[in-house]
Amino acid sequence: MADYLLEMDDVCKAFPGVQALNHAKLQLKAGHVHALMGENGAGKSTLMKCMFGIYKMDKGQIYMNGKAVTIKDPIDALSKGIAMVHQELQPIPAMTISENIFLGRYPQKKVLGFIPVVDHTKMNNDTNELLKKVKLNFDSKQKVGSLSTSQMQLVEIAKAVSANCKVLILDEPTSSLTQNEVDSLFAIIKNLKSNGVAIVYISHKMDEILQISDEVTIMRDGQYVGTWEAKELTINSIITKMVGRELTNLFPKKENVPGEVVFEVEDFTSINPKSFRHVSFNIRKGEILGVSGLVGAQRTELMEGIFGIRSKSSGKVMLHGKELHINRPKDAIDNGVAMLTESRRTSGIMGVLSVADNISISSLKNYLDYKISINSGKVDNLVKENVKKMNIKTPSSKTPIKSLSGGNQQKVIIGRWLANSPEVLILDEPTRGIDVGAKYEIYCIIADLAKQGKSILMISSEMGEILGMSDRIMVMCDGRCTGFIDRKDATQENVMALATKFSS
């Protein structure tokens, strides 16, 4: 045990109806990056939350430098040198970067010789030094709410670095970062390694794992599968160990046959001059139109404009040749348009509600008796049908959705929209933060919907996903549509050429 900076042994943790961890273990060496991998629901985040003191273990022991320790809560974990950057960010937008970084441990000074107050000057100076150290060009007094998601992610990483930790847990740290930001993160990680920090790196991005990791531990169904040197593994061998079987195809066979034009967008322009402008496209019945582009291309903003979340200055939307007047999401829903949003946690699931509530909430009006009371029997049948059809893994339909894995949460939201029988589905990053096994299930659902004749707009930042799933690809750059590529002509080079085609 003394060979390891931190070791978790024989860890068990159960929630109502779910054995989340079943005799799991993990061994971390100082100055090493240790990747922790497994499908959604494998127990990775639960194991880390036990290490960080968020969850109490039902059984098991944690050792640091060979000595048994008890971690009571996250503050205790930080005092022992363990820091964690969570997958779901929870910054306080109204506070400054320095206030977020030093939250709960503000430096203090005394006025009148005995009254303790926050030393803002020291806090801001220390934050500026920290930001310079991790090569982030932000002002410590800047409000966190003014930052993008990726910038918030980098601030959270800086916050963890500021704690002078011995163990740093990074849970999906690059899920919303650009390649340049990923390179900056990797530079930070290498610097921490050189200072003897042990880093737990959780990610579904195989290429990153093989690039940055020294060891890889794989979990499946809450159990420890094994630990290997990263240099011994390949992407295929990792997938096989994760899912317990070989995946011969990453994408399902395409059986959809696109038909007549169903949905048209003409000259769509945002009220914000820095957002989408003069975008026109159409989509056919049974077609998957991939929407590609780099960060800042305004893909999400365009789709939110079409769905009535954002205001437009000009342009029109037509379904079957008839113009739709969409001023709010309800107008889109009433006209057969559905949208799966980019962020499950913040604008997708309703975490405190059950799986049943999350599936049925958008279509309850269809199950009213005499337009006044909900027919619970019909709603129950709807929920059971969706759980079965989507293969949603849940102890029961009454289980809070927040306790499900990301892949199963995504299936619930898709089921919610399908309950309204939409003709057009907008899917914004449908597999973000989902493991390779759950991704394949989502791909099968999308392919089957297209085969049924649904028209699907799919935004994705993953090149393989765009190339593997799309019948056509619309590429955006700097708020404009820069071109379309048919499936047979689609290559990474062709897509990137259009994605970097800035106007002169």
- Write the pLDDT tens digit of every residue in 325-334: 999 999 999 9
Structure tokens at 181: 């930001």
How many Å apart are CA 171 and CA 407, to the nearest integer?
Answer: 16
Structural Rg of the chain based on CA atoms: 24
Average pLDDT over the chain, rounded to whole?
A: 87
The edge-to-edge listing of strands for the beta sheet with 18-28 is 18-28, 6-15, 59-64, 67-69
32 contacts 71 by C-beta, under 8 angstroms: no
Give the model confidence (pLDDT) of 70-128 as tens digits: 999 988 998 899 998 876 667 788 899 999 888 888 889 888 888 899 999 999 999 99
Per-residue confidence at 27, pLDDT binned at 50, 70, 90? Answer: very high
17 pLDDT above the threshold of 70: no
The predicted structure's pLDDT at residue 340: 87
Contacts of 373 (CB under 8 A, 6+ apart): none
pLDDT score recorded for residue 235: 84
Helices then strands, each counted (H, E), the chain: 17, 24
pLDDT recorded at residue 240: 82
Does the structure show a pLDDT above 60 at 1?
A: no
Q: Over 60: is that where the pLDDT of 503 sits?
A: yes
Q: What is the pLDDT of residue 502?
A: 74
235 three-class SS: helix
Strand partners, 110: 116
Express each pLDDT in 315-351 by its tens digit: 999 999 999 999 999 999 999 999 988 777 667 787 7
Look up residue 249 and give its amino acid: N
Beta carbons of 469 and 262 less than 8 angstroms apart: no
Backbone angles phi, psi at 197, to 5 degrees: -80, 135
Following DSSP, what letter does each residue of 320-366 receive, concatenated?
Answer: TTEEE--SSHHHHHHTTEEEE-S-HHHHT--TTSBHHHHHHTTSGGG
Report percent pLDDT > 70 for the chain: 96
CA distance 449 to 443: 10
What would the pLDDT profile of 406-415 be if each residue is shown by its tens digit? 778 888 888 8
**Mean pLDDT value across residues 369-386:** 80
- The reply to whether the predicted model has a pTM over 0.85 is no
Longest dimension (CA), the chain: 79
Q: Please check the confidence at residue 434 and state whether its pLDDT lies above 80.
A: no
Instruction: Kindly state the average pLDDT of the residues 47-60.
Output: 94
Instruction: Of 145-149, 202-206, 222-226, 395-399, give the range with the top mean pLDDT.
Output: 222-226
User: Domains in the chain and their CATH numbers?
Assistant: 6-243 (3.40.50.300), 259-336+424-504 (3.40.50.300), 354-421 (no CATH)
pLDDT reported for residue 43: 87
Residue 135: is its pLDDT beyond 80?
Answer: no
Cα–Cα distance, 429 to 84 (Å, whole number): 25
In the prediction, which pLDDT does 474 show? 97
> Is 94 exposed, middle or buried (CB count within 10 Å of its CB: 0-12, 13-18, 19+)?
exposed
Which of 111-115, 431-435, 446-450 is modeled with the greatest confidence?
Answer: 446-450
238 or 271, higher pLDDT? 271
Per-residue pLDDT of 250-264, as tens digits, reads: 788 889 999 999 999
